[in-house]
Amino acid sequence: MIAKYIASRVCQTVADMDDRTSPADWPEAMLVTGKELQSIVEAAVEAEAHALTPELSKILGTMCFQCIPFAQALRAAGHTIKSRAEDEQAAVLHWMLGHYATHGEDWRTAAAADMEAMRKAVIDEQTPAVPA
């Protein structure tokens, strides 16, 4: 999700550059030098890396007591998390940020699916096999 946003931002920046015309036989082409493109990509990535989006703010604002059920679920699924509240909070924020980095603003959907998969795996692990 974030990669698509950055790619879109780069394409828009290149398209908005002054004194650029596409070849008549290739109208969808965007002419840019390697050095210009590198500079544009670096600026777009840097801007996104430092943006405090509403979703990122929600993740980073998660209080330690809100992390308890997530930490318990992560532990049940095999994650090693110390029992101090700070350790639980760090582990949960790390897990959430991983989903945010991969899925952007839709990170909650992916995190919920991940949590559901962990829940099912724990139940399957705890359910005794029925003899045939």
Q: How far apart are CA 10 and CA 4, in angstroms?
A: 10
8 within some domain:
yes
Which residue has 């924020």 as its token pair? 93
Contact 66, 88 (CB under 8 A): no
31 within some domain:
yes
What pLDDT is attached to residue 1?
56
Contact 103, 1 (CB under 8 A): yes
Q: How far apart are CA 118 and CA 100, in angstroms?
A: 18
Q: What are 18's two structure tokens?
A: 């002054």
- Among the candidates 49, 66, 85, a domain finishes at 49
**Pair 39, 62 in one domain:** no
Position 132 pLDDT exceeds 80: no
Residues 35-61 pLDDT 10s: 999 999 988 888 777 778 889 999 999
132 within some domain:
no
Q: Which residues contact 55 (CB under 8 A, 6 or more apart)?
A: 100, 104, 105, 107, 108
What pLDDT is attached to residue 12?
87
Angle at 96 between CA 95 and CA 100, to 5 degrees: 120
Average pLDDT, the chain: 88
Q: Roughly what angle, to the nearest 10 degrees, separates helices 34-49 and 2-15? A: 140
**Pair 37, 58 in one domain:** no
Share of the chain above pLDDT 90, in %: 45
What's the total number of domains in the chain? 2
Q: How confident is the model at residue 70 (pLDDT cuts 50, 70, 90)?
A: very high
| Least confident stretch, 9-23, 75-89, 90-104 | 9-23
Q: How far apart are CA 98 and CA 76, in angstroms?
A: 19
Question: Which of 63, 66, 52 has the alpha carbon at shortest distance from 100?
Answer: 52
